[in-house]
Amino acid sequence: MSELAFVATCDLVAMVRGRALPRSALLSGGIGVGWVPADLALTAFGGIAEPNPFGALGDLRLVPDISTEVLLPPAAAGGDPLHLFLATQTSLDGTPWECDPRATLQGAIAKLESTSGLSVMASFEHEFTLCGIDGSALVRSPFGLGALRSAEPFGTQLLAALSVAGYEIENWLPEYGAGQFEITLKPVGALMAADRAIILREIVRDVARANSLRASFAPLPSTSSVSNGVHVHLSLWRDGLPVTYQPGADGDISPIAANAFAGILEHAESLLVWTAPSQTSFLRLKPHRWSSGSICIAKQNREALLRICPVVGFGRGDPAQSFNVEYRAADATANPWLVLAGIIQAMVDGLERKCVLPKVLFGEVEGFGRQLPASLNEAIAAFKLDSAAASWFAPNLVATHLGIRAAESEAMVGLNDDEKCARYSSVY
């Protein structure tokens, strides 16, 4: 039997979708597999949002990036491994489709490079809840050895699968909530970081299924539970050297990095449309949830939108190499390509306009900075008023994204918050 390959994209609701064919045929053909524009309009719950800009018209190709290939183990006894490739959606002439999320990130990366000579190193820090097939969470022992051991052999198998994929693990730990875990990869360039974030989630889910478990990345499993975030660590580089760190500056942030991070804060409300796009995302983004209670930048404060991470003063060499700032208002209902595309475009805007970074906060965020929107609808309203942010994405991509959010909002009518959480948890 031929080895099977799955050629995939990650869509606007962060679902990995695509088509399968023999790996040999994929590698020999060079033109990928067919795809349909309206597939971009699929909601988290499976239907196509109507209306959308595409209808029944058009054809695309999913053209794989061979460098993204990972081998997933057999899904069942007696099965075969699966070769997973991430792809760019192209028109039939081979040019990237304007609405393709991966091409959108590539465009943002190119714009940052061309306008400033800078590049971004990034890492996605994922939190998820591990449950039995019956939905029961594993033991709660915050950061405890018992919680870590309760997940075996899942944890050992997960780290082995990530290692086989060539991913370097920075952290694997039991988190604060019942059955909650965190996995972080070492930072790499922006495109590779987003690619790996997408594939990591699928590897986690795959290994969980193999152990009769279920991994949920939903931002809030229930209103009484601990939330799951996706924190994005960012640093700026030029000519292979880090340029984010300047000892003695406010927060030790260099002037050029300060301009870039100021852009993120200026467009914070608009960015949430892409980084926290579900109906339950904003149940997580509340003060005192250690998610993001205020639009500000703070030193080592987990309630700030931007958190300046600590630099270890011993045994790590040059602190500039590890110095980074963490964006905390993202979750796994968001497409990692679009999360980074929005963040990088905001950085470009901050650099071009030389935006001034507000004073770095060294205390509690209570009463400091602007408050985050209280709902997705508030974030969408802010996005519609932000002409710069709207210009960062193709008009049909924006229209489709907002159409999906409207369709999901309609699907939530009549549900209380716990019922909404359960609906999203069944998907993510």
Buried b or exposed e, range 408-425, using 16+ CB within 10 angstroms: beebbeeeeebebbbbbb
Is the distance from CB of 260 to CB of 157 less than 8 angstroms? Answer: no
Residues 134 and 55 in one domain: no
Of 61, 76, 98, which closes a domain?
98
> Is residue 340 within 8 Å of residue 190, measured between CB atoms?
yes
Residues 145 and 9 in one domain: no
The pLDDT assigned to 247 comes to: 93
Tell me if 125 sits within 8 A of 184, measured CB to CB: yes
Q: Does 91 share its domain with 170?
A: no
For residue 41, pLDDT beyond 70: yes
Q: Are residues 82 and 118 in the same domain?
A: no
Predicted confidence (pLDDT) at residue 77 exceeds the cutoff of 60: no
In this structure, the answer to whether residues 137 and 89 fall within a common structural domain is: no
Q: Are residues 144 and 242 in the same domain?
A: yes
On whether both 166 and 89 belong to a single domain, the answer is: no
CB neighbours (10 Å) of residue 90?
Answer: 19
For residue 231, the cross-strand partners are 125
| pLDDT band at residue 314 using 50, 70 and 90 as cut-offs | low
Q: Last residue of some domain: 58, 77, 98?
A: 98
* 79 and 123 part of one domain: no
92 and 113 belong to one structural domain: no
Return the half-sphere exposure (C-beta side, CA atoms, 13 A cut-off) of residue 388: 18
Based on the fold, state whether residues 42 and 111 are members of the same structural domain: no
Q: What residue ranges in 205-348 does DSSP mark as E strands?
A: 213-216, 230-238, 241-242, 294-299, 304-308, 325-327
Same domain, yes or no: 117 and 9? no
Boundary residue ending a domain (98, 125, 143): 98
**Does 233 have pLDDT greater than 90?**
yes
Question: What pLDDT digit, counting tens, does each position of 105-117 carry?
Answer: 999 999 999 999 9
What is the distance between the alpha carbons of residues 167 and 199, in angstroms, rounded to a whole number?
A: 10
Q: How confident is the model at residue 141 (pLDDT cuts 50, 70, 90)?
A: confident
pLDDT per residue as tens digits for the range 20-31:
988 888 888 778
Percentages helix, strand, coil for the chain (3-state, rounded to 5) are 35, 25, 40
* pLDDT given at position 144: 86
Distance CA 157, CA 22 (A): 26
CATH of the domain at 32: 3.10.20.70
pLDDT of 132 > 70? The answer is yes
Mean pLDDT, range 201-214, rounded to an integer: 92
Q: What average pLDDT score do residues 336-360 get?
A: 97
pTM of the model: 0.93
- Token reading at 377: 């609808």
Are 84 and 176 in a shared domain?
A: no
pLDDT for 78: 62
H/E segment holding residue 274:
helix 268-275
Among the listed residues 11, 186, 9, 194, the one whose alpha carbon sits nearest the alpha carbon of residue 109: 194
Q: Which CATH number does the domain housing residue 194 bear? A: 3.30.590.10
Quickly count helices (H) and strands (E) in the chain.
13, 16
pLDDT given at position 289: 66
Total domain count, the chain:
2
Compute the distance between CA of residue 401 and CA of residue 41 in angstroms, rounded to an integer. Answer: 7
Out of 93-97, 131-135, 149-153, which region has the weakest mean confidence (pLDDT)? 131-135
Give, rounded to a whole angstrom, the gap between the first and last alpha carbons of the chain. 32
Q: Which of 19-28, 34-43, 326-335 bottoms out in mean pLDDT, i.e. has the lowest?
A: 19-28
Is the confidence at residue 241, as pLDDT, over 90? yes
Q: Which domain holds residue 18?
A: 4-98
